[in-house]
Structure 1
Amino acid sequence: MFDHVSIGVRDIDRSRIFYDAALTPLGYGRLTSGATMLGYGDEQVSLWVTQAEHPVRPDLRSGLHFCFKAFSEEAVEAFHAAAIAYGGEDNGAPGLRPEYATFYYAAFVIDPDGYRLEAFFHKPDL
């Protein structure tokens, strides 16, 4: 349904450091960058991060979050560890989330601007 999503941030350099570290374990990289914008994805940009004069204030109670696909449990764990190490805040350690679906393995963080992020891997039924 979506081609891409854009978010506004206060400090593009801080966001570059955070998103470069957090998205690499998931197989996503910075595909484009400029003085005020960054583009992340695998083959095409799917997440635009732009410096904004008045970024939307994230509200942790709004329900808004962005979920990234992961290719393994280890990738989810590496995403979580990198995000925390590079300025993110823990919002749910890596693990199974049977309340969401059978074999739903995910981790949750909050980026430096307050956006809620998730990495998800659908663990195969063994």
Structure 2
Amino acid sequence: MLHHISLGVSDIDRTAAFYDAALAPLGYVRVWEDLVPGADNQAVGYGVSGGGDKLALKQRSIGQRPPGPGFHLAFAAADQEAVVAFHAAALAHGGTDNGAPGLREHYGPNYFAAFVIDPDGHHIEAGDREGSAC
């Protein structure tokens, strides 16, 4: 259904370093970049190696703020170990814990996920593909 989504960020270098680390355990990498130090509208894109972007980060120095309550991005993970590694990498690179890795049986009997807040306040999740989606 979705081609890609873009998020505004206040510091492209800091946020790209966060997503480089957090998305690596999930198999997603930086697939393109348009970086001009000091310029607004710099951007990077993430997806599977050799493919197009599914997530773009765009620097917005003025007026950048995360979407309101209820909005979050959920990334697919291959297994529970990838969810755990996503959470650990996110916290080690400036993320804030918003739900440790674990079963979320209220979403489905096998739904294993972890939740973090990125350095710009965006709520993100990694969920095991084998679990039921919420």
TM-score range, shorter chain: over 0.9
- TM-score after normalising by structure 1: 0.92
- Which of 37, 45, 49 is equivalent to 1:39? 45
1:19-98 matches, cutoff 5 A: 19-35=19-35, 36-42=42-48, 43-58=51-66, 62-98=69-105
- Which of 93, 101, 122 is equivalent to 1:115? 122
**Stretches of structure 1 lacking an aligned partner (at least 5 in a row):** none
Partner Cα separation in structure 2 for residue 124 and residue 117 of structure 1 = 17
Counterpart residue identity of residue 39, structure 1: G
Equivalent residue pairs, number: 124
Counterpart residue identity of residue 44, structure 2: L
Contact 1:103-1:122 within 8 A present in 2 as well: no
**Change beyond 3 A, Cα 1:94–1:55:** farther
Counterpart residue identity of residue 48, structure 1: A
Partner Cα separation in structure 1 for residue 63 and residue 77 of structure 2 = 27
Aligned Cα RMSD in Å? Answer: 1.6
Partner Cα separation in structure 2 for residue 54 and residue 5 of structure 1 = 20
Q: How far off its partner does 1:44 sit? A: 1.7
2:17 alignment partner, SS class = helix
Partner Cα separation in structure 2 for residue 9 and residue 67 of structure 1 = 18
Q: Deviations over 1:51-73 (max 9, x none)?
A: 013354226x6100000000010
Residue equivalent to 2:10: 10
**% identical aligned pairs:** 52
Q: Which shifted more, 34-43 or 47-56?
A: 47-56
1:63 alignment partner, SS class = coil
